């Protein structure tokens, strides 16, 4: 893929469409089961054996060099804070991001990833790209909503790596005894796609042991990845997104553009070859986000004395409650400490006195039934008065997009309509 060549595997014995496709794309190589008996008839086979490839090194044309600034892909953001935007990614961006991830995960030809994330999502795409780059393999499992099937696949396919978003791990925690499941070759697990509850992180670290858990942070605007938390520092630096990946510089900047000292909260800004050129057809948004000093992530963060970064909230999602600027994450983390709460998300709603007030949306654990008064009283014990939610809504599930990211704007719409 990164070299610019494409191979297509199909089980169609009469691919009438293939001739037209090959005419439009002369570089396409197609292997059908008519050429190789029935070996490629099903991608559900536990292994795929192909006849030996003839040695063509003396006659094959050299792989062309692709300029780093050439357009490779347009990947749309999740739209979790607004309308999706097309991010323009170059071959240079893909290569830089791929090499960085390969480096800190220590990937090699023997690695095989269990891939359940959509490939139109930059996290899922990076799993594919990194394993292709090192000559490893990827097992595509489309039944991600069936956690037991996923666990069986990790064992049966000899997967060494597994990547998921917070919802992935919540489903596994709710439905499976992961610690008791066989995972003979699994050596690492990665989590990105939004902040995961601290208790779920601790559960994942225990349940997947001895596989190592990498908590990661990134954005589509940076191709995929910006930071990772080294597993050996996971407990010591709980709540941190970690350190910058190889080849990336992260800084916390104040409103005047100056770098802030350790402990102070400002905007997280990134520089590196994986930072993309901008948004498709949106010059004003591009100029606001991709500046001379780097990619302005829109996330508020602080850096500790050891150089580890902690997200304090989303600048564009900060609540303005009676003159106080508060992060929804602060309220959510308190609510998640209640034993009945499985998931929690906060949205700001108009308030005639405070200007804006927090409303919280809660998914309860099975066979648990905390009430609105109980949850508000619990929050009152651990939060200042202005942070206590003015409304508590119970949902069977939080609204999420296809990649599993929370749709906070949908919560705002639900709150404004007064829907449960």
Q: Are 414 and 359 in contact (CB under 8 A)?
A: no
Tens digit of pLDDT at every position of the chain (420 positions): 344 444 455 544 445 555 665 565 555 544 444 444 333 333 332 333 444 545 545 555 566 788 999 999 999 885 544 567 899 999 999 999 999 999 999 999 999 999 999 898 899 999 999 999 999 999 999 888 888 999 999 999 999 999 998 888 988 998 899 999 999 999 999 999 888 888 889 999 999 999 999 999 999 999 999 999 999 999 999 999 999 999 999 999 998 899 999 999 899 999 999 999 999 999 999 999 999 999 999 888 999 999 999 988 777 677 878 667 788 888 999 999 999 999 999 988 877 667 788 999 999 988 877 889 999 999 999 999 989 999 999 999 999 887 777 887 788 778 776 654
Q: Are 285 and 87 in contact (CB under 8 A)?
A: no
Tokens standing for residue 32:
């059908």
Q: Are 288 and 267 in contact (CB under 8 A)?
A: no
Could you tell me which residues are beta bridge partners of residue 321? 324
Distance between CA atoms of 293 and 314, rounded to whole angstroms?
Answer: 19
DSSP three-state, residue 126? helix
Report the predicted TM-score, pTM, of the whole model to 2 decimal places.
0.70
Q: Which element (helix H / strand E) includes 86?
A: strand 86-90
Q: Are 186 and 178 in contact (CB under 8 A)?
A: no
Exposure string of 155-171, with b = 16+ CB inside 10 Å and e = fewer, is eebbbbbbbbbbbbbbb
What pLDDT, on the 0 to 100 scale, is given for residue 38?
33
Tokens standing for residue 288:
């606001």
Scanning the structure block, which residue is given the tokens 């989303």?
314
Tokens standing for residue 104:
């800190």
Distance between CA atoms of 75 and 89, rounded to whole angstroms?
Answer: 7
Pairing of strands 86-90, 290-291: unpaired
What pLDDT, on the 0 to 100 scale, is given for residue 190?
98
Distance between CA atoms of 195 and 240, rounded to whole angstroms?
Answer: 10
What pLDDT, on the 0 to 100 scale, is given for residue 402?
75
What pLDDT, on the 0 to 100 scale, is given for residue 18?
55
What pLDDT, on the 0 to 100 scale, is given for residue 410?
82
């Amino acid at each position: 893929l990164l070299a610019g060549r494409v191979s297509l595997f199909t089980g169609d014995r009469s691919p009438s469409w293939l001739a037209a496709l090959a005419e439009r794309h002369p570089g396409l190589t197609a292997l059908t089961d008519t050429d190789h008996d029935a070996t490629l008839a099903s991608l559900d086979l536990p292994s795929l054996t192909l006849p030996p490839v003839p040695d063509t090194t003396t006659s094959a044309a050299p792989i062309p060099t692709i300029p780093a600034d050439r357009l490779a892909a347009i990947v749309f953001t999740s739209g979790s804070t607004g309308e999706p935007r097309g991010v323009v990614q170059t071959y240079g961006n893909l290569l830089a991001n791929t090499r960085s991830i390969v480096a800190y995960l220590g990937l090699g030809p023997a690695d095989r990833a269990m891939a359940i994330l959509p490939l139109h999502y930059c996290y899922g795409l990076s799993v594919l790209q990194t394993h292709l780059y090192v000559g490893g393999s990827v097992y595509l499992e489309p039944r991600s909503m069936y956690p037991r099937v996923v666990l069986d696949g990790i064992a049966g396919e000899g997967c060494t790596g597994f990547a998921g978003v917070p919802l992935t791990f919540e489903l596994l925690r709710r439905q499976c005894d992961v610690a008791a499941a066989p995972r003979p070759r699994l050596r690492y697990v990665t989590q990105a796609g939004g902040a995961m509850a601290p208790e779920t992180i601790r559960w994942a670290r225990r349940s997947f042991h001895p596989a190592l858990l990498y908590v990661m942070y990134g954005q589509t605007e940076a191709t995929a990845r910006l930071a990772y938390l080294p597993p050996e520092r996971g407990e010591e630096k709980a709540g941190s997104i970690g350190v910058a990946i190889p080849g990336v510089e992260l800084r916390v900047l104040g409103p005047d553009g100056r770098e802030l000292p350790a402990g102070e909260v400002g905007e997280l800004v990134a520089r590196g070859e994986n930072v993309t050129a901008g948004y498709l057809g949106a010059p004003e948004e591009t100029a606001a986000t991709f500046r001379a000093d780097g990619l302005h992530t829109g996330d508020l963060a602080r850096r500790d004395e050891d150089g580890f970064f902690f997200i304090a909230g989303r600048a564009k999602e900060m609540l303005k409650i009676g003159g106080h600027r508060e992060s929804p994450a602060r309220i959510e983390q308190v609510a998640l400490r209640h034993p009945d709460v499985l998931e929690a998300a906060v949205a700001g709603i108009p308030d005639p006195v405070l200007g804006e007030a927090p409303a919280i949306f809660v998914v309860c654990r099975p066979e648990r039934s905390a009430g609105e008064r109980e949850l508000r009283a619990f929050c009152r014990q651990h939060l200042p008065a202005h942070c206590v939610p003015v409304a508590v809504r119970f949902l069977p599930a939080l609204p999420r997009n296809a990649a599993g990211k929370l749709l906070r704007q949908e919560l705002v719409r639900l709150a404004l309509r007064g829907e449960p």
